Amino acid sequence: MRLKFTRFQGLVHLAAFAPLAVLIIQAIADRLTANPIQAITQRTGQAAVIGLLLTLACTPINTITGWRAVLTVRRALGLWAGFYALLHFLTFAMLDYGLDLRQIGRAILEKPFILVGLITLLVLIPLAITSTRAAMRKMGARWKKLHRLSYLAAVLAVIHYLLAAKADFAAQPLIYGSILGLLMVLRIKPVRQWFIRRRASAATAED
- Contacts with other proteins by CB under 8 A lie at 24-25, 27-30, 33-38, 90, 94-98, 100, 103, 106-107, 110-113, 163-164, 166-169
Q: Which is nearer to other proteins, 30 or 207 (CB)?
A: 30
Q: Which of 16, 21, 3 is nearest to 76 (CA)?
A: 16
Instruction: State the Cα angle at 156 between 153 and 159, rounded to 5°.
Output: 150
| Closest approach of other proteins to the CB of residue 51, in Å | 20
Q: Which is nearer to other proteins, 156 or 164 (CB)?
A: 164
Q: Which is nearer to other proteins, 41 or 55 (CB)?
A: 41
Q: Which is nearer to other proteins, 98 or 140 (CB)?
A: 98
CA distance 53 to 143: 20
Scanning 72-188, the segments in alpha helix (DSSP H) are: 74-90, 101-110, 112-129, 133-139, 141-147, 149-164, 171-187
Distance between CA atoms of 100 and 107, rounded to whole angstroms? Answer: 11
Minimum CB separation of residue 190 from other proteins in Å reads 39
Closest separation in Å from C-beta 168 to other proteins: 5
Q: Give the Cα separation of 185 and 56 in Å (integer).
A: 12
**Residue (147 or 160) nearer to other proteins, CB:** 160
Cβ at position 87, least distance to other proteins in Å: 9
* Cα dist from 34 to 27, 31, 41, 177, whole Å: 11, 8, 14, 29
CB of 164 to other proteins, least distance (A): 6
